[in-house]
Amino acid sequence: MPQEIDILVSEVGPRDGLQSIKRTMPTEAKLHWIKALASSGLREIEVGSFVSPRLLPQMADCGMLVRESNKIEGLTVLALVPNLKGAENAVAAGARKLTMPPSASRAHSLNNIGMTPEEAIEEVRHVCAFRDSLPSEKRPDVEASISTAFGCTLEGKVSEDWVIEIAGLLAKAGADSIGLSDTTGYANPAQIKRMFRRLRSEIGVEKMGGAHLHNTRGQGLANVVAALEVDVTTFDSSLGGLGGCPYAPGASGNIVTEDLVFMLEAMGLRTGVDIDALIAAREVLLRGLPNEVIYGNIPDVGLPKGFTYASGRSVT
Amino acid sequence: MPQEIDILVSEVGPRDGLQSIKRTMPTEAKLHWIKALASSGLREIEVGSFVSPRLLPQMADCGMLVRESNKIEGLTVLALVPNLKGAENAVAAGARKLTMPPSASRAHSLNNIGMTPEEAIEEVRHVCAFRDSLPSEKRPDVEASISTAFGCTLEGKVSEDWVIEIAGLLAKAGADSIGLSDTTGYANPAQIKRMFRRLRSEIGVEKMGGAHLHNTRGQGLANVVAALEVDVTTFDSSLGGLGGCPYAPGASGNIVTEDLVFMLEAMGLRTGVDIDALIAAREVLLRGLPNEVIYGNIPDVGLPKGFTYASGRSVT
């Protein structure tokens, strides 16, 4: 029986990390990496994105990855779908959880998924209707995570009222859970607390999604602490902070899974993840992407002397 | 009249940063750097350490630095003193605030200052008696910051009860304020909240000192957020994270002043510090220490579009 956990760490490296770099990792190497990630104890992995291979050739093997990853016991396999067509392809491949990225910033939404925010909400409605048309054993969970929820590199400030309004509309459209994404690394801890509190009061605790945070300005784990203060229990992160930040040579893109898991476990919050196994998974990642720059402090510095996991397990 | 502030950012680069690297920065260059730091709006700078120049030749000019820095209007000039002799030298140079580093870990205390923790507390008592013997216009503030308060690379876990007991003894010994130092980068946010809460209940709000945090394991700003939750209002940091971490090529030593100020201001907490001026001070630092590796995300990535300081001042 799997260990009980307090916080779900949702690994997004195979999707968010790999789509941020130019090289394409071979399918076989991706699968090795996904298996290594799962064997560290990660319960949920976003394996890819069902988008046009013209736009993101790195993601062309997403169907195969879903099919193969589904064979890993106890793993929730997540796939990003920007629209109904993507959702149909994902379900055909056997995906049981879909994540959709409507964006609060109009400029970013048009740029990223070629739709206005309102059209993106409609698309979530179509995907939810499609979900409901399926026999129950094939019905995927539909998660929506609002991109640029804390600011946008194109528009600057994004109205917080508008973000919360979108969350309410997504809930009405049928999304199973709704999270907030700091796509641009603009969020600060005060804003994180305020917005997740408002999100909960808008959509209720049953539909509360997670926090997708980037470390662009070094605020990633600080934002996690703020989110924990308002009882957020799911965090996206990426092994080695894969993908980096194009503007900051020393900065990871997504928050680094290794450092996140260390922080949570040190705080007494069980993740079910083994840090040494995560560090071993870095080698598997680098075998598939030789010489890629990856990030993380814990892999370089090691665990504190006398460290114990939240479960009470000691490592020294 | 200086702007009111919510949080005091105490710059420790000229002491903690410079003592962590092998090269010695020329006195003239240090002074240029200290002036650049002060002109960014920093209210307090730890300019050096009154230790034997045999042990730390990088700090041999501390007397001169105190004398010259005292001429900067509105600046609190802080000097580290390990013992009574250092305090006497510091006061002779005109220092008006002293910081002492008793350590909770017995092994670290013997290693670092050649005294047991009990002897280090006695030394604080001697320094406070010396302070009280001075005419009031020469009397310095005596701050004590308990090193290895969150764990030790030599001893591993450090008893939290013992740390709090030390704080109580330091208060009785006459220290004006007592803070906690995560010398080793071991602290986690849950521990930070718990320990600063206990510290306040032990010594009272009048003697509450600040948090001295290191970013060794990437937890620096996360720990700041936790400390803010329990109303800590003073944080040490170092421009460019100068000094780095010997075990982590990509990790700063002290938390990075630039990223700390950005986070606080974004959260609506006034520091009185201008981020562009901090970034300009990096150039002054590097003129004194050519090619030194320094850290920080904000200097590489820049402020978010539409950023406003806590005071309401906009930058775009």
- pLDDT tens, position by position, A221-252: 999 999 999 999 999 999 999 987 666 666 67
pLDDT for residue A243: 82
**Contacting B residues, span 35-94, partner chain A, CB-CB under 8 Å:** none
User: Which chain B residues have a beta carbon less than 8 Å from that of A263?
Assistant: 188-189, 218-219, 222
Which residue type sits at B29?
A: A
CB-based contact (8 Å) between A268 and chain B? yes
The residue among A254, A301, A309, A316 with the most chain B CBs within 10 A of its CB, best to mutate, is A301
Instruction: Please tell me which residue of chain A has the smallest CA distance to B264.
Output: A188
A143 in Cβ contact with A212 (< 8 Å): no
Kindly report the nearest CA distance between residue B125 and chain A, in angstroms. 32
- Mean pLDDT, range B203-228, rounded to an integer: 97
Domain B8-301 class, CATH top level = alpha beta
Q: Do B225 and A189 touch (CB under 8 A)?
A: yes
**Contacting B residues, span 188-247, partner chain A, CB-CB under 8 Å:** 188-191, 215-219, 221-222, 224-226, 228-229, 245, 247
Distance CA A139, CA B307 (A): 43
Q: Do A221 and B226 touch (CB under 8 A)?
A: no
Q: How confident is the model at residue B122 (pLDDT cuts 50, 70, 90)?
A: very high
Distance CA A173, CA A189 (A): 29
Q: Closest to B300 (Cβ–Cβ): which among A247, A301, A316?
A: A247
- Parse chain B into domains and list their residue ranges: 8-301
pLDDT for residue B218: 94
Kindly report the nearest CA distance between residue A300 and chain B, in angstroms. 5
Catalytic one among B62, B128, B152, B245?
A: B245
**Contacting B residues, span 244-263, partner chain A, CB-CB under 8 Å:** 245, 247-251, 256, 259, 262-263
User: pLDDT digit of tens for each residue in chain A (316 aa)?
Assistant: 567 999 999 999 999 999 999 899 999 999 999 999 999 999 999 999 999 999 899 999 999 999 999 999 999 999 999 999 999 999 999 999 999 999 999 999 998 889 999 999 999 999 999 999 999 999 999 999 999 999 999 999 999 999 999 999 999 999 999 999 999 999 999 999 999 999 999 999 999 999 999 999 999 999 999 999 999 999 999 999 998 766 666 667 899 999 999 999 999 999 999 999 999 999 999 999 999 999 999 999 999 999 999 999 998 6
B62 is catalytic: no
pLDDT for residue B248: 60
In this structure, of B16-20, B61-65, B90-94, the range with the lowest mean pLDDT score is B16-20
